[in-house]
Amino acid sequence: LEIIVVNDGSKDGSLKILEEYASKDSRVKVIDKENGGHGSTINVGIKYANGKYFRAIDGDDWVNTNDLKKLIKSLEIIEVDMVLTNFLKCYEDGKIEKEEFENIIPKKIYSFEEIVKQVKWMCYHSVIYRTKLLKEYDIRLDEKSFYVDAEYMIYPIPYVKTVVFFNYNIYCYR
């Protein structure tokens, strides 16, 4: 596990907190840069990523660590371009809604063409890409722009050949 945290120009003391985490855990790498927006932070993350798979997490969201541990073990023994997982919508009042994929066999490797015929949706919160694919095809999102989640989903698609689904709830979308 490699955790790349991008401080996108915050002036509120975030950098100091991030550096404290990095000093206690060698898996945490802190990148400090001028504000460039959401797309810019993902671009920097891809640039510095060395792991087999890449998952972007927004600053106000989090991951379910229990399922993340299971996912990491699963990813160690598989080689695909895209990984799909369920995700949770977490509301301020404590309500949680589970967004699940239906009619997909977990751990089965699908072609991209097969999977798009079987799913109703794929979104930023449910997708993990092979890092090598993002780097090899120089996937870069617009900077200083809104709604780059759609770009994150669309730009890699022409290069995705294989997809697997794991029945884990990884992303907690606030």
| pLDDT value, residue 146 | 87
User: At residue 147, what is the residue type?
Assistant: Y
Please, what are the averages of pLDDT over each run of 10 residues along the chain (174 residues)?
95 95 97 96 97 95 96 96 98 96 96 96 96 98 93 97 98 96
How many of the other CB atoms lie within 10 Å of CB of 30?
18
Tokens of 20: 């404290």
